[in-house]
């Protein structure tokens, strides 16, 4: 099956993951080219047995880009350290927008990070090609993941990252605002905009946008654009051709579509969208000052703290309808963070112990409970939050897809597109201008 059209995930696995969804518990890709390093080393020799307990105290460095759930990860680390008293984890949370640059800098300077998070796909391939990733394929704990998930995250047929978590990227909505205005859940893009218009006419803010943080705008753009490119315009090989210089954004109708959609969201967003960050957007939604928020499940813990009533019964969650074809507007379900072991680490034994814990049911349950995202670990809890139960029919019926598998290029087009599209918001450039600028940037930097 064509990987681009397979939608990447095992429907059976995802159905099992969400089969227990009910009440809540307490609870991105940067294409940075890594510096060159030595050759990859293999972990195959230790595949048949779990990692042994280090005989001497070890401090394991762990850098991650999940800074939005720093407190939750701290609780997970506490649990791991309690079970592994000889291992202390030096946790280094980094804001996502800064993560790729900092990781690249650390590796180039010889500042060894033992374990770090990566996004699956082109980012992993770049660090693998740079010689920085330990081969995890045959390690015993990798058996705790569905083979289909491992196949999707493989690089050249081998697994250099361990699946950690995944989740839907969809639209949170305020049930009371929708009910008061007689709004149905929109299943097409035009219906979404019609609902936004009615919300705005009622004197309320349709969308909570925190676009001061570039990743929030980039997260939406990097899903709307490939979805429209492949599923609407039928350009299944656009990103392949972009990589080899055979395609241009100017020849892709989806480039104009996504700019038009971005202008719509900007029109219906809160004031000062580019001055409000992720946390500010979550606050707007939690205070019920905005009717909708496009996001993963990450803010659920904060919303529960700030507005328990909204969390328990006042909010819902629906797939973002990127097109006017309801049959295509399935639920976006993406891998989030995966774990890698530095091939140059001197603490591989402890690193494998750390990954083995994260791959266990206890580790998977801890991740779900403390970060409000789903774990890929077989049998892990799926008890995230009441709002997530509204997505159950999409899992039951296999109406899932992963737009990120469409993006086969290593070119960091998304960062540039995110920066350029902001010019259109303030009439500093036309859509044609920024599309030309994007093609010029690709031609200049990727010959």
* Helix ranges (DSSP H) in 130-229: 147-152, 175-180, 189-201, 214-227
Residue 26's pLDDT is: 35
Residue ranges covered by each domain of the chain: 25-164+336-384, 168-333+404-445
Residue 55's pLDDT is: 67
Residue 1 in this model has a pLDDT that exceeds 50: no
Crossing angle (nearest 10°) for helices 214-227 and 413-425 = 100
Residue 48 in this model has a pLDDT that exceeds 70: no
Same CATH topology for 25-164+336-384 and 168-333+404-445: the answer is yes
- pLDDT tens-digit map of 21-30: 433 333 333 3
Residue 58's pLDDT is: 96
Question: pLDDT class for 352, splitting at 50, 70, 90?
Answer: very high
Q: Give the Cβ contact number of residue 407 at 10 Å.
A: 24
CA atoms of 117 and 70, how far apart (whole Å): 14
- pLDDT tens-digit map of 213-225: 999 999 999 999 9
Question: pLDDT class for 446, splitting at 50, 70, 90?
Answer: confident
Q: Give the Cβ contact number of residue 2 at 10 Å.
A: 7
Tokens representing 22 are: 């009910």
- pLDDT tens-digit map of 65-103: 999 889 999 999 999 999 999 999 999 999 988 999 999
Residue 16's pLDDT is: 43
Local structure of residue 176 (DSSP, 8 states): H
CA atoms of 326 and 232, how far apart (whole Å): 12
Residue 392 in this model has a pLDDT that exceeds 50: yes
Run of H or E including 171: strand 165-174
Q: Which of 47-61, 123-137, 202-216, 361-375 has the lowest mean pLDDT?
A: 47-61
Q: Which residues of 300-387 form beta strands (DSSP E)?
A: 315-318, 331-335, 338-341, 374-375
Residue 378 in this model has a pLDDT that exceeds 50: yes
Question: pLDDT class for 355, splitting at 50, 70, 90?
Answer: very high
Question: pLDDT class for 123, splitting at 50, 70, 90?
Answer: confident
Residue 167's pLDDT is: 87
Residue 275's pLDDT is: 95
Closest CA to 268 of 170, 195, 319, 181: 195
In this prediction, residues 8-35 reach a mean pLDDT of 42
- pLDDT tens-digit map of 177-193: 999 999 999 999 999 99
SS3 152: helix
pTM of the prediction?
Answer: 0.74
- pLDDT tens-digit map of 266-297: 999 999 999 999 999 999 999 999 999 999 99
Superfamily of domain 168-333+404-445: Periplasmic binding protein-like II (3.40.190.10)
In this prediction, residues 145-154 reach a mean pLDDT of 88
How many residues in total does the chain contain?
447
Residue 53's pLDDT is: 56
Answer yes or no: are the C-beta atoms of 2 and 95 closer than 8 Å. no
Question: pLDDT class for 46, splitting at 50, 70, 90?
Answer: very low
In this prediction, residues 366-380 reach a mean pLDDT of 89
Q: What is 25-164+336-384's CATH number?
A: 3.40.190.10
Run of H or E including 294: strand 290-295
Residue 374 in this model has a pLDDT that exceeds 90: no
Residue 107 in this model has a pLDDT that exceeds 80: yes
Q: What is the largest CA-CA distance in the chain?
A: 67
Question: pLDDT class for 336, splitting at 50, 70, 90?
Answer: confident
Residue 329 in this model has a pLDDT that exceeds 60: yes
CA atoms of 223 and 214, how far apart (whole Å): 14
């Amino acid at each position: 099956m064509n990987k681009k059209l397979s939608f990447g995930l095992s429907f059976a696995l995802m159905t099992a993951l969400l089969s227990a969804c009910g009440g809540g518990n307490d609870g991105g890709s940067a294409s940075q080219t890594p510096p060159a390093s030595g050759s990859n080393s293999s972990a195959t020799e230790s595949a048949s047995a779990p990692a042994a307990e280090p005989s001497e105290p070890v401090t394991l460095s762990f850098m991650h880009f999940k800074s939005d759930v720093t407190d939750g990860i701290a609780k997970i680390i506490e649990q791991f350290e309690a079970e592994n008293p000889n291992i202390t984890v030096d946790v280094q949370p980094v804001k996502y927008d800064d993560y790729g640059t900092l990781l690249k800098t650390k590796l180039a300077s010889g500042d060894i990070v033992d374990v770090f998070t990566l996004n699956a796909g082109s980012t992993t391939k770049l660090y693998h090609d740079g010689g920085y990733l330990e081969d995890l394929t045959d390690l015993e704990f990798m058996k705790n993941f569905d083979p289909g998930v491992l196949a999707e995250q493989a690089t050249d047929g081998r697994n250099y990252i361990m699946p950690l978590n995944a989740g839907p990227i969809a639209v949170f909505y305020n049930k009371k605002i929708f009910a008061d205005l007689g709004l149905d859940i929109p299943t097409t893009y035009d219906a979404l905009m019609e609902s936004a218009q009615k919300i705005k006419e009622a004197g309320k803010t349709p969308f909570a946008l925190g676009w001061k943080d570039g990743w929030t705008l980039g997260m939406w753009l990097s899903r709307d654009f490939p979805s429209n490119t492949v599923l609407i315009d039928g350009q299944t090989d656009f990103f392949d051709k972009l990589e080899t210089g055979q395609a241009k954004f100017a020849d892709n109708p989806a480039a104009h579509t996504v700019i038009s959609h971005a202008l719509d969201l900007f029109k219906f967003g809160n004031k000062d969208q580019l001055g409000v960050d992720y946390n500010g957007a979550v606050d707007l939604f939690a205070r019920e000052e905005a009717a909708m928020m496009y996001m993963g499940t990450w803010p659920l813990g904060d919303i529960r703290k700030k507005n328990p009533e909204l969390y328990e019964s006042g909010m819902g969650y629906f797939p973002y309808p990127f097109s006017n074809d309801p049959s295509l507007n399935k639920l976006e379900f993406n891998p989030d963070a995966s774990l890698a072991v530095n091939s140059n680490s001197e603490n591989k034994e402890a690193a494998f112990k750390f990954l083995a814990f994260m791959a266990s049911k206890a580790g998977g349950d801890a991740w779900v409970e403390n970060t409000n995202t789903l774990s890929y670990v077989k049998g892990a809890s799926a008890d995230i939050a009441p709002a997530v139960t509204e997505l159950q029919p999409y899992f039951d019926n296999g109406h899932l897809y992963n737009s990120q598998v469409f993006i086969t290029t290593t070119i960091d087009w998304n960062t540039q597109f995110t920066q350029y599209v902001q010019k259109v918001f303030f009439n500093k450039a036309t859509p044609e201008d920024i599309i030309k600028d994007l093609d010029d940037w690709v031609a200049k930097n990727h010959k």
